Structure 1
Amino acid sequence: MIVSTAERRTAMRGFALTAALLSGLALAACQTTPVGQLANIDKAQGSSENISSLSSVINSNPRDPEAYNVRGSAYGRSGQYQAALKDFNTAIQLKPDFYQAYSNRALIYRFLGDQQTALADYNRAVQINPSYDAAYIGRGNLYRKAGQTQLAFNDYQKAIQLDTTDARAYNNRGLIYQQQGQHKFAIEDFSTAISLAPDASEPYNGRGLSYLATGDEQNAFSDFNMAIKLDKKNAEAWANQALVYERRGDKQRAAKSYREAIHLNPNYQPAKDGLARVS
């Protein structure tokens, strides 16, 4: 849902999270792993069998840039980043205006920690095709990770204005609204993300935090439970569920959920702090 400029101007400003306990959890919810065009490639497509099949296609037609782009995506999904780069480079050499390959290659550079080269590739992708939503979302993720929140917001906004059906644009813009304390808009964005990707855990976890910040504990609890149901390895959702139990005075269930969060992510400080409080 796109909100008007007037609505944004009248939005909540500087809304502090309702409890100090929430601050660490809300920040943690803003940390997501790099995702981009490769996220749309099914994990099975990164299998050795699929890569072998794609290699046969390339051997039959070594001048096909599309084949290199698809195999590069498969290599990326399997974690073979150098092989992925090689294929994206070949795809771009064969088709210099191949904006999808630029965007895909940018994501690989992000995984490898080369943020400047990734930014140059995203810039090139949107220069070639100003309507390519995936590149705006990928670049927005890069900006957000670098702490350039306004630039990230602008890119998510652009993707949404292009009528993207990619839930990440709404989810990640929602995270920015949440960070700014604009929880009404955050909830709207998370809800849209859920409608576009109902099997994704992250929007439920994000929306739950904003519900909790606005005092809607029951809806928050329902969202954290759904996030866990969709992804039992979501440490943040377990910790957030534990926080609700803690607020309700149920220290036993809170401790159990905090322990599960720590089991999944031993370095997750909000869970460790929470367990110390209820133990």
Structure 2
Amino acid sequence: MKKILFIISIIFSITLQGQTDIKYHEIDSLIESNSMINSMNAIKKLKEDFAKDSISSNYWLRYSKASFVFFRYEDASSGIDKAIKLSPNDSELYFEKGMLNNKIDKLEIALQAFEKATDIKKKGEYFYWKGIVNQRLRRMQSAENDYQTAIEYKFESSQLFNNFAILLSESGKNEKALVMINKAINLDNKYPEAYSARAKINFALLNFDLACKDGKNAIKLGHRNPFQVPDSICNGTLNQKLQYASDVFVVNKLYKQGIIAYTMLINNKAAKSDNFLNRGYCYFQIKEYVNAEKDYLKALSLPEAVIDQIYDNLSLLYFDMNNFEKSIQYSTKRIELNPKNHVPYIDRGLCYRKLKNYENAEKDFNKSLELKPDFFRAFGYRSFLFLELGQYQKSLEDAGKSIKINPQYGYGYIVLAQAKQQIGISDFCEDYYNAKKYGEPDAEKGIKEYCK
């Protein structure tokens, strides 16, 4: 008996839904035309012919959709919220709210709506769109989980696999990305964006011939700005391809791929100083300091070495390794090569400050400013030196000079805030907020401790 009642209830629900679809057929057609005039007429018909249905979520759903096409985004948002209030357990309404807010770039609201939809009903399409929003918010692991869940719930499309492949490639998972992009192309072999994405993935995997072929296919299919390897490289030698790829990886901060490409170059009779220098730089960026040191020193020993650049890299490397004596050694070598270069003086001055050799630190900062009086970083670093020495007025003045020269110098603002605190000037929080605005990583700590 219970089974019979359950079946009857399903049939009744389907019948009601069918009746609703028929009832709103004309209005739905007007909305789906994506015409402003038709959408305005849809709203008019809702108000005139279906006013009694304003207690129904179906009414407000269509009102929301028509308002969106008519660029009345506030009405669209309030309409979908009214629909949800009337039918709070309808997953499709939360899905529509997510779609609306994704379109108008209110991504956090969209994400919350999609999360509510997936809580109510595990549907692949819901997870797919939640993944899109997470990807737009650069929440890569969450997006990856969403796309994988969408596939597990039997939702598949060329767009899903394309998006998933791009996401995986950006996370360095190129082998898995290749599997996904192949699925996208298998579903739609005339999808230009997928060929462009596959060209980029193959390039990252050093599959140069395939990357060249896919780039050309993307153009043939109408992609206006595809990822494309220049013909001169496609037609070049393996070493020319590797050299091009290596440099592209470094420019785009793909350091692990850069290491692979430079290693292949070096092993393929291209053991030039520049290649060791650049591979060392890649190791430095991923904090593999021992390998970076080996490569820098090897680069220094080879013909046509760019000595000043290698000394600079070694100085920065040893500074990061807290080996300040060695960092001073290579900063000094740079100064000996070119005493008129203002930069190595602040590098050496920073090391002296770390070693609490304040007199020599101040001399180096002063020398840097003597050579380049508008060098804001020298003012910023000397300002912190004065702060450490308890010379707060001098620190305040130097920090002020640094941001006057460069109003977007985050470090200058954070030192200015600290100097003001020591002197007793009350508006220091403004400087902490400016430091945060301009990318100073330590600003948040000051804001949490002093400005809340």
Coarse TM-score class (shorter-chain normalised): 0.5 to 0.7
**Higher alpha-carbon deviation: 86-95 or 193-202:** 193-202
| Shift in CA distance, 190/266, structure 1 to aligned 2, threshold 3 Å | closer
Q: Tell me the distance in 1 between the aligned counterparts of 2:339 and 2:259.
A: 26
Aligned match for 2:285, one of 104, 111, 114: 111
Which one has the largest radius of gyration? 2
Structure 1, unaligned runs of 5 or more: 1-48
| Shift in CA distance, 266/108, structure 1 to aligned 2, threshold 3 Å | closer
**Which residue of the partner structure matches residue 202 of structure 2?**
none
**Which residue of the partner structure matches residue 210 of structure 1?**
385
**Which residue of the partner structure matches residue 28 of structure 1?**
none
Q: Would you say the 8 A contact 2:377–2:402 is kept in 1?
A: yes
| Shift in CA distance, 164/92, structure 1 to aligned 2, threshold 3 Å | farther
Give the TM-score normalised by the residue count of structure 1: 0.63
| Shift in CA distance, 70/207, structure 1 to aligned 2, threshold 3 Å | farther
Structure 2, unaligned runs of 5 or more: 1-224
**Which residue of the partner structure matches residue 272 of structure 2?**
98
Confirm or deny that 1:142 pairs with 2:317: yes
Q: Would you say the 8 A contact 2:414–2:443 is kept in 1?
A: no
Q: Tell me the distance in 2 between the aligned counterparts of 1:225 and 1:125.
A: 41
Q: Tell me the distance in 1 between the aligned counterparts of 2:356 and 2:393.
A: 20
C-alpha distance after superposition, 1:45-104 (max 9, x if no partner): xxxx9x967x44433543666x85576344323222234234433443455441122111
Q: Would you say the 8 A contact 1:102–1:124 is kept in 2?
A: yes
C-alpha distance after superposition, 1:229-257 (max 9, x if no partner): 45555443212111222233211x21221
Q: Tell me the distance in 1 between the aligned counterparts of 2:268 and 2:228.
A: 21
Query: Secondary structure of 1:170's match?
Result: helix
Q: Tell me the distance in 2 between the aligned counterparts of 1:196 and 1:56.
A: 46
Task: Give the number of equivalent residue pairs.
Answer: 225
Aligned match for 2:258, one of 77, 84, 88: 84
**Which residue of the partner structure matches residue 10 of structure 1?**
none
Give the TM-score normalised by the residue count of structure 2: 0.42
Aligned match for 2:296, one of 119, 122, 142: 122
C-alpha distance after superposition, 1:17-59 (max 9, x if no partner): xxxxxxxxxxxxxxxxxxxxxxxxxxxxxxxx9x967x44433
Q: Tell me the distance in 2 between the aligned counterparts of 1:193 and 1:73.
A: 32
Q: Would you say the 8 A contact 1:137–1:168 is kept in 2?
A: no
| Shift in CA distance, 212/256, structure 1 to aligned 2, threshold 3 Å | same
**Percent of paired sites with the same residue:** 18
Q: Would you say the 8 A contact 1:159–1:169 is kept in 2?
A: yes
Q: Tell me the distance in 1 between the aligned counterparts of 2:339 and 2:260.
A: 29
Confirm or deny that 1:259 pairs with 2:439: no
**Which residue of the partner structure matches residue 450 of structure 2?**
275
- The alignment yields a C-alpha RMSD, in angstroms, of 3.7
**Which residue of the partner structure matches residue 411 of structure 2?**
236
Asked which structure has the greater RCO (Cα within 8 Å, sep 6+), the reply is 1
Q: Tell me the distance in 1 between the aligned counterparts of 2:231 and 2:266.
A: 20
Aligned match for 1:72, one of 246, 255, 262: 246
Q: Tell me the distance in 2 between the aligned counterparts of 1:81 and 1:243.
A: 36
Quote the offset at 1:185 in angstroms.
Answer: 2.5
The amino acid of 2:363's aligned partner reads E
Q: Tell me the distance in 2 between the aligned counterparts of 1:152 and 1:266.
A: 24
Aligned match for 2:355, one of 164, 167, 180: 180
